[in-house]
Amino acid sequence: MAHDALQRHRVKIEGFIDKTIQSSSASTVKIVQPEALDREVLDRCNRWFVIVTSMFFENEIEHTLLAKNFVKNIDYILYSELKRWNFEIDISGVCQLKCPTCPNGNFTGQGLTKNMMEFEQYRQILDKLIAEVDFFPDVQLYSWGEPLLNPALPDMVNYAVSRGISVGISSNLNDIRHLEKTIQAKPDWFRVSVSGIDDWYSQMHQGGCWKKVANNIDQLSKLRKIYHPEIIVEINYHLYKNNKNDIETVAQICKKNDFLFKVNAAYIDPLDMLIEYAEGQSLPESVAKTAQKLVFDINEVLRYCKTHKSNDCVRENTIVIHSDGTIRQCPHVFGSRYSLDKKIFDLSIQEVADLFMKRDICKRCKNIGLNNFYAHFLSYTDASVK
Ligand code: SF4
């Protein structure tokens, strides 16, 4: 989404540097490996500078740049310093699937409201953000819910685009009744999450059907060609111990359709459940069983996090607005007790920022190092999946 937002501000993007995303050679977006961060290579361009847009690996990338004698604000800038806040609007509080690694499938406590955001409320939220936030280039129209279930999604995309805001959508793509109109509305970025194919897909995307998704991926590809060839489509592959063999099939689908392909180790949400576990409570039995399917041993990761604590958190500057207008204290929590007492229209963004400074959940999270939990899974790269 940074790509489109920056292009609208007349910044020409030559390509991306990323170690976890693959693109086919025909891709409209050139993606090269981090080794390309070399002055000699870059000096072949007339004028250049690097914009670090990675959320989870900003520090790591900055260290690499500094080690290569790049100078901050001359040779590179951090997108996070341009953009104070990330916004996610969960326009659908509902998902039709019950994935065992997602709170919509595994949460046993008092969770979030399950409703659909209406267009009018969404429009008012977007207007408020545009009025109050200095640099508001993009918005994600999803968090825990399935956005394609909301019939107002095409109008929502259309409205954001008409106000100059780039839109990102992530979907399980099991229900495409509103897909055509959504692509016509021209979102900038569309992610489809999968967890293998056939039976394994239905186990880890519980309630979903791989055959249907594979057909819907074809349909997405056709719609892209007709209505919006510039849209970036990414398939995000959730890797488990037992689904490595399916990677090639999905990689080939991406190649055929000129989609980006990203593999990361699957992990378990929500964070509030993990914090309680790390503080001594037990995991629900079904979640403990799911944990055994992960590539990483969850207890080892928790131990590592606890012994390698840091104060930084890449998720602290994300404001998630739920479908009922409540604001979550962290993108990764699901329990209703971790929402702010007041809704988005009752607070200015500055007041949200003030409340965020005092978040008790962040103190608990950082105390056990869980602010670094997800980076372990997202940075997983296995030579065999390349
Ligand atoms: S510190 Fe933990 S609870 Fe707070 S925003 Fe980061 S991940 Fe969420």
**Over the stretch 166-208, which tens digit does the pLDDT of each residue have?**
999 999 999 999 999 999 999 999 999 999 999 999 999 999 9
Write down which residue in 60, 80, 100 finishes a domain: 80
Tell me how far apart the alpha carbons of residues 381 and 323 are, in angstroms, rounded to a whole number: 34
Ligand 1 atom at minimum distance from 314 CA? 6
Pocket test for ligand 1, best of 319, 327, 332, 377 (most atoms within 8 A of CB): 332
Secondary structure of 24-74 in HEC code, one letter for each residue: CCCCCCCEECHHHCCHHHHCCCCCCCEEECCCCCHHHHHHHHHHCCCCECC
Write down which residue in 80, 113, 146 finishes a domain: 80
Q: What token pair was written down for 216?
A: 């819907």
- Tell the residue nearest (CA) to atom 1 of ligand 1: 362
For residue 5, how far is its CA from the centre of ligand 1 (angstroms)? 26
Decide: 365 in ligand 1 pocket, CB within 6 A: yes
Q: Give the range of the structural domain holding residue 341, as residue numbers without chain letter.
A: 84-385
3-state SS class at 280: coil
**Is there a single domain that holds both residue 39 and residue 158?**
no
**Is there a single domain that holds both residue 68 and residue 109?**
no
Decide: 371 in ligand 1 pocket, CB within 6 A: yes
Decide: 117 in ligand 1 pocket, CB within 6 A: no
**Is there a single domain that holds both residue 66 and residue 93?**
no
Write down which residue in 20, 51, 80 finishes a domain: 80
**Is there a single domain that holds both residue 103 and residue 73?**
no
Closest by CA position to 109, among listed 356, 372, 341, 339: 339
**Is there a single domain that holds both residue 171 and residue 72?**
no
**Is there a single domain that holds both residue 223 and residue 343?**
yes
Q: What token pair was written down for 160?
A: 């954001």
**Is there a single domain that holds both residue 47 and residue 104?**
no
Name the stretches of the chain with pLDDT < 50: 383-386
**Is there a single domain that holds both residue 153 and residue 221?**
yes
Cis bond upstream, residue 270 (ω within 30): yes
For residue 322, how far is its CA from the centre of ligand 1 (angstroms)? 17
- Tell the residue nearest (CA) to atom 8 of ligand 1: 330
Q: What is the pLDDT of residue 250?
A: 97
Decide: 293 in ligand 1 pocket, CB within 6 A: no
Q: What is the pLDDT of residue 41?
A: 72
Q: What is the pLDDT of residue 82?
A: 83
**Is there a single domain that holds both residue 247 and residue 359?**
yes
Decide: 332 in ligand 1 pocket, CB within 6 A: yes
Tell me how far apart the alpha carbons of residues 50 and 247 are, in angstroms, rounded to a whole number: 31
**Is there a single domain that holds both residue 65 and residue 91?**
no
Q: What is the pLDDT of residue 60?
A: 76
Tell me how far apart the alpha carbons of residues 146 and 192 are, in angstroms, rounded to a whole number: 11
Decide: 361 in ligand 1 pocket, CB within 6 A: yes
- Tell the residue nearest (CA) to atom 3 of ligand 1: 362
Count of domains observed in the chain: 2
Decide: 316 in ligand 1 pocket, CB within 6 A: yes
For residue 315, how far is its CA from the centre of ligand 1 (angstroms)? 6
Decide: 313 in ligand 1 pocket, CB within 6 A: yes
Q: What token pair was written down for 307?
A: 């012994």
**Is there a single domain that holds both residue 245 and residue 130?**
yes
For residue 37, how far is its CA from the centre of ligand 1 (angstroms)? 30
Tell me how far apart the alpha carbons of residues 220 and 183 are, in angstroms, rounded to a whole number: 8
Q: What is the pLDDT of residue 55?
A: 65
Q: Could you say which DSSP state residue 309 is in?
A: -
Ligand 1 atom at minimum distance from 316 CA? 5
Pocket test for ligand 1, best of 271, 364, 373, 377 (most atoms within 8 A of CB): 271
**pLDDT tens sequence across 260-287:** 999 999 999 999 999 999 999 999 999 9
Q: What's 375's domain CATH number?
A: 3.20.20.70
Decide: 314 in ligand 1 pocket, CB within 6 A: no
Tell me how far apart the alpha carbons of residues 264 and 379 are, in angstroms, rounded to a whole number: 7
Q: Scan for tokens 């500055």, then name that residue.
A: 350
For residue 362, how far is its CA from the centre of ligand 1 (angstroms)? 5
Q: What is the pLDDT of residue 212?
A: 98
Tell me how far apart the alpha carbons of residues 236 and 233 are, in angstroms, rounded to a whole number: 10
Tell me how far apart the alpha carbons of residues 2 and 260 are, in angstroms, rounded to a whole number: 16
**Is there a single domain that holds both residue 171 and residue 117?**
yes
Q: Could you say which DSSP state residue 77 is in?
A: E
Q: Which residues are registered as beta bridge partners of 166?
A: 138
- Tell the residue nearest (CA) to atom 7 of ligand 1: 371
- Inter-residue contact 259 to 235 (CB < 8 Å): yes
Distance of alpha carbon 137 from the chain centroid: 16
